[in-house]
Amino acid sequence: MNHSPQKRRVEITWLGHSAFKLVSSTGKTILIDPWLDNPKAPAGLKDGINADLILVTHGHSDHLGNTVEIAKRTNAKVIAIYEVSVYLESAGLGNVQGMSKGGTVNVDGIEVTMVDARHSSTIETDGKMIPGGEAAGYVVRFENGYRIYHAGDTALFMDMKLIGQLHRPHVAIVPIGGLYTMEPRDAAIACKWIKPKHIIGMHYGTFPALTGTTEELRQHLPMPMKSRVKELQPGVPITL
């Protein structure tokens, strides 16, 4: 696989929890699971953040987050599994694309493929919990061919091998907190299957119950892969 320097031009910013901001080589901004009221998010971030595209992995409030208010302000296109997309339209969004696992959507040269995740998905509205389809992950292929896999909330499952084989992501963003998702040991197994060049942990440290750490993730990886783990600080971008 060619990992030449000209392909390493995607800016990645962790915004706390599972929220990420990705900026393509042409300047397009993608937000994934923009819950920007999370305890790790930089203060005031949600009020001025830009977005061309928002990806929602599932309906839980710590992932759907501030999607509606950001999309209304920016007119960003929002992609979500069909049931969540219907809810978002009912919440007043007009620029919504529903899809399902295995499908790919091309948005101005950026290809977004929805892949499987093992987790629940409900939406909190008017004090009730309503069905939100199934949880998902995404593989984002940028204009320059660079590929990032955001696993969403998930347990370890064997088909992660297929995600690695089919999409060959350069970057894997995986949950490591435990309790509601994979713990570091399981995330390390997923990364051994996927074989990314860079590994980023998420969904950890937000609350005391999410005890996994990036150091534990490194400990469970074989020596050649330990250096692939990037420990991001909320609000501080890195370029890969």
With the C-alpha atoms ordered 164, 166, 172, 174, is the resulting torsion angle positive or negative? negative
Judge contact between 232 and 14, C-beta under 8 A. Answer: yes
Q: What domains, with CATH codes, occur in the chain?
A: 5-232 (3.60.15.10)
Q: For residue 8, what pLDDT is reported?
A: 54
Q: What tokens appear for 82 in the block?
A: 């069909």
Q: Other CB atoms closer than 10 Å to residue 192's CB: what's the count? A: 15
Beta strands at 96-99 and 77-81: parallel, antiparallel or unpaired: parallel
Residue-by-residue pLDDT tens, the chain, 240 positions: 444 444 558 999 999 999 999 999 999 999 999 999 999 999 988 888 999 999 999 999 999 999 999 999 999 999 999 999 999 999 999 999 999 999 999 999 999 999 999 999 999 998 899 999 999 999 999 999 999 999 999 999 999 999 999 999 999 999 999 999 999 999 999 999 999 999 999 999 999 999 999 999 999 999 999 999 999 999 999 999
Q: For residue 9, what pLDDT is reported?
A: 84
Instruction: Report CA 27 to chain centroid distance, whole Å.
Output: 19
- Measured CA to CA, the distance from residue 232 to residue 209 in angstroms comes to 20
Q: For residue 4, what pLDDT is reported?
A: 44
- Measured CA to CA, the distance from residue 111 to residue 147 in angstroms comes to 9
**pTM confidence score:** 0.95
- In the numeric block, the tokens 């963003």 are attached to 173
Beta strands at 20-23 and 11-14: parallel, antiparallel or unpaired: antiparallel
